[in-house]
Structure 1
Amino acid sequence: MLSCRDCFSIVTAVTKSQAANIKPITDHGANVLYQHGTLALLVPGLLEGTTTIGELLTHGDTGIGTGEGLDGELIILDGVAYKVGSSGMAERVPSDFTMPFANVHRAAFQYQCSRADIGLEDLNKRIVEANGRANTFFSVIVHGTFSFMKTRAVIKQQAPYPTLVEVADRQATFLRHDVKGTMLGYFSPVMFHGAAVAGFHEHFLSDDRTFGGHVLDAVLDRGDIYSQVFDTLVQHLPVDDPEYRNHDFSQDPIAAAISRAEGDVKN
């Protein structure tokens, strides 16, 4: 099993056909993607924290998410959780930090290929084409040097919480050049749009653990790409939260709101 810190040392090339043959690894449950909450519950502003980092880490050592009230962009690497808030600085979070939404899994990434001088949109397109898995959940780690990295963090909201679309206008954006670090993302099939974001949802953390956030745009100068495929999705819902239990989602334009919010703050 590879940790993120091992990624850059591997130099063996993998062809497109070999990448498509990357299979789920069942050892230690590495074929399972665990998700707490859904993006749909964020649409009407159900932003209360309904699980903790401590609980989340019992299901994996690698992941992304957001805190209560959209308090920062979270990235979990090697079993350590970091939060990037409105300052753009990364900080470790305690085990009792709460979240309304998060993805996590047990890392078992397999080397896919190396890339140089490529923009985010083209990079993501090539990753999907190489994997041949447009209808499959998978995670991707890109570790290397980025000549350009643009991230954002939503400013923490207070109850009563605004809707997801309203929050899209309340964010801080950050730029870095020639920054070395790890971009961790999850790819979700179109058919699951609402439970997650159709396509890629990616967060970044610099190697010096000072900078990161939700990735808006990037250019990879040189780096290695690793994939991990899941054949099982475990969806955990906050059934003990009365606001979630009683909310009428039939009145919410879930898909349109997520598309608009994610369009305004491009993944």
Structure 2
Amino acid sequence: MTQSHASNIKPITERGANVLYQHGTLAQLVPGLLEGTTTIAELLTHGDTGIGTGEGLDGELIILDGVAYKVGPSGVAEVVPDDFTLPFASVHRAAFQYQCQRTDIGLEELNKKIVAANGRANTFFSVIVHGTFSFIKTRAVIKQQAPYPTLEQVADQQAMFLGHDVKGTMLGYFSPLMFNGAAVAGFHEHFLSDDHTIGGHVLDAVLERGDILSQVFDTLVQHLPVDDPDYRSHDFSNDPIAAALAKAEREPRRDAAE
């Protein structure tokens, strides 16, 4: 482990690297507002790095170096076309700064140390980890068809993937508790192996050895799908937003008899 330089990491204004751009909200996925309301082509005008999901929860997306990859039920990543549509995504212009190197550390402990080192529990920031993962568990939700079910109804409909001794990149965003609903409070992380054979939403991991870089944002641009009539007319007051998002972020529980 190397000493963390997180306290020295500040927002970088060049190229708008201090701005986190988000299309849609995670809260709108809770009642099943899963219609694609922007395209990858449009999204990439706002950043070259990010995560998201496609229309109907079509795959787990990770955007690296301006290329958008989708991980579906096969677990293998594929590049998506410019007209691929999304209901939700977060992107930014990469200007990561070196934070530290970590060895033999689990995902939960790693994330706790990142937040503690940053001292930014009330700040949006992105973290990218590249290295060798002795263990990685990811998932991809099965694509849904309209009329779309709620997020809780599809939480158990996911393909899960396990990898061992995998080299790859984990990209995540940390969102403050006060913004839960716009995004998920805490970390939201996706993974892509160097050979593109495994990826998806990260459920668990053990980092054998890797470099950790952070990027801090002082500006959030929240773009809402105001042209979507279902979004405009939906009443969110009875939706279990916090509970549904928490359930969607973790691995589904199985009955003991299964």
Superposition TM-score, scaled by structure 2 size? 0.96
Residues matched between the structures, number? 253
Q: Give me the whole-angstrom Cα distance separating, in 1, the residues matched to 2:211 and 2:243.
A: 34
Moved over 6 A (4+): none
Q: Which residue does the alignment assign to 1:146? A: 133
Q: Which residue does the alignment assign to 2:89? A: 102
CA shift at 1:20, angstroms? 1.2
The equivalent position to 1:230 in structure 2, one of 206, 217, 231, is: 217
Task: Say if 1:24 and 1:265 are closer, same or farther in 2 by CA, change over 3 A.
Answer: farther
Q: Give me the whole-angstrom Cα distance separating, in 2, the residues matched to 1:223 and 1:102.
A: 26
CA shift at 1:264, angstroms? 4.3
The equivalent position to 2:176 in structure 1, one of 158, 180, 189, is: 189
Q: Give me the whole-angstrom Cα distance separating, in 2, the residues matched to 1:130 and 1:155.
A: 36
SS in 1 for 2:167: strand
The equivalent position to 2:186 in structure 1, one of 181, 199, 203, is: 199
Q: Give me the whole-angstrom Cα distance separating, in 2, the residues matched to 1:237 and 1:243.
A: 12
SS in 1 for 2:231: helix
Q: Which residue does the alignment assign to 1:259? A: 246
SS in 1 for 2:187: strand
CA contact (8 A) 1:149 1:177 kept: yes
Task: Say if 1:230 and 1:44 are closer, same or farther in 2 by CA, change over 3 A.
Answer: same
CA shift at 1:35, angstroms? 0.2
Q: Give me the whole-angstrom Cα distance separating, in 1, the residues matched to 2:45 and 2:96.
A: 19
Q: Which runs of 5+ in 1 are unaligned?
A: 1-10
Q: Which residue does the alignment assign to 2:16? A: 29
Q: Give me the whole-angstrom Cα distance separating, in 2, the residues matched to 1:62 and 1:125.
A: 23
CA shift at 1:53, angstroms? 0.3
Q: Does 1:81 align with 2:107?
A: no
Q: Which residue does the alignment assign to 1:130? A: 117
Q: Which runs of 5+ in 2 are unaligned?
A: 254-258
CA shift at 1:260, angstroms? 2.6
Q: Give me the whole-angstrom Cα distance separating, in 2, the residues matched to 1:120 and 1:262.
A: 14
CA shift at 1:77, angstroms? 0.1
CA shift at 1:256, angstroms? 2.1
CA shift at 1:265, angstroms? 5.1
Q: Give me the whole-angstrom Cα distance separating, in 2, the residues matched to 1:149 and 1:65.
A: 19
Amino acid in structure 2 at the alignment position of 1:112: Q
Q: Deviations over 1:128-158 (max 9, x none)?
A: 1111111100000000000000000000000
Q: Deviations over 1:40-81 (max 9, x none)?
A: 100000000000000000000000000000000000000000
Q: Give me the whole-angstrom Cα distance separating, in 1, the residues matched to 2:137 and 2:89.
A: 21
Cα RMSD of the aligned pairs, angstroms, is: 1.3
